[in-house]
Amino acid sequence: MAQASKILAFAGSLRVESWNKKLLKIAVAGARAAGADVTVLDLRDLPLPIFDEDLEKAEGLPPNARKLKDLLLANRGLLIASPEYNSSISAALKNAIDWASRPVPGEKPLECFVGKVAGLVSASPGALGGLRGLVHVRAIFGNIHVLVIPDQVAVSKVHEAFAPDGSLRDAKQQAAVAAVGEKVARLVAKLGD
């Protein structure tokens, strides 16, 4: 029997009632329905200082950055729900990527990112649904050797998009977000864990 695809899922928002955290749950359900073993992380649970090479030189990698790296190393797939802040990605998401990318003795450069498969979704009250931010996430991940699947979903007018049960009111959008999770799970399985 094949081993389940291992996927780490998190939102780039720290806000407790984040729309992107709610959207992530739908993508995670799609991945789990495809047989994936998904670990959901809340970046709020791993607070990190703002990336600073002087701090890194003086104190080394912060313990929470090490925990994040270990989670990334343990999973082949990524599901990211990225809010759009000022037409780009959130500081929390960029900071997490920056800390996790730092080399430590015994690791190859970018070891926790190289060869990963990622799926992206976003939600925003604006008309584009966070699409401009996804362009930046895709570019960053491409530069650190993460394969980002072509499919992505940006849910606009998100303040009107969710039903009380946490699903999206638009059944086609609901299916598209779940399909992002499913496609990441299937691709990771094909590539082999």
Tens-place pLDDT, residues 93-106: 999 999 999 998 99
On whether residue 179 sits in a domain, the answer given is: yes
pTM listed for this prediction: 0.96
Is residue 93 domain-resident? Answer: yes
Percent of the chain with pLDDT over 70: 98
> What is the crossing angle of helices 171-191 and 19-33, to 10°?
50
Domain of residue 142, residue span:
6-191
Measured at the CA of 150, the angle between CA 79 and CA 163, to 5 degrees, comes to 55
For residue 1, being part of any structural domain is answered with no
Which CATH number is 72's domain given? 3.40.50.360
What is the pLDDT of the chain when averaged over all its residues? 95
Q: Is the pLDDT of residue 192 over 90?
A: no
- Assigned domain for 87 exists: yes
- What is the distance between the alpha carbons of residues 165 and 86, in angstroms, rounded to a whole number? 29
Using alpha carbons, list the distances in angstroms from residue 123 to 40, 74, 89.
18, 27, 12
Q: What's the token pair of residue 77?
A: 């797939």
Which pLDDT band, with edges at 50, 70 and 90, does 114 fall under? Answer: very high
Q: What mean pLDDT is predicted for residues 18-22?
A: 97
Instruction: Report how far residue 146's alpha carbon sits from residue 77's, in angstroms, rounded to the nearest whole number.
Output: 9
Q: Is the pLDDT of residue 46 over 60?
A: yes
Residue-level pLDDT at 1: 37
In a domain, 128, yes or no: yes
User: Would you say residue 3 has pLDDT above 70?
Assistant: no
DSSP state of 113: T
At 138-184, the pLDDT tens digits run 999 999 999 999 999 999 999 999 999 999 999 999 999 999 999 99
| Count of structural domains within the chain | 1
Give 63-77 pLDDT, tens digit per residue: 999 999 999 999 999
In a domain, 163, yes or no: yes
- In this predicted structure, what is the pLDDT of residue 146? 98
Per residue in 128-149, pLDDT (tens digit) is 999 999 999 999 999 999 999 9
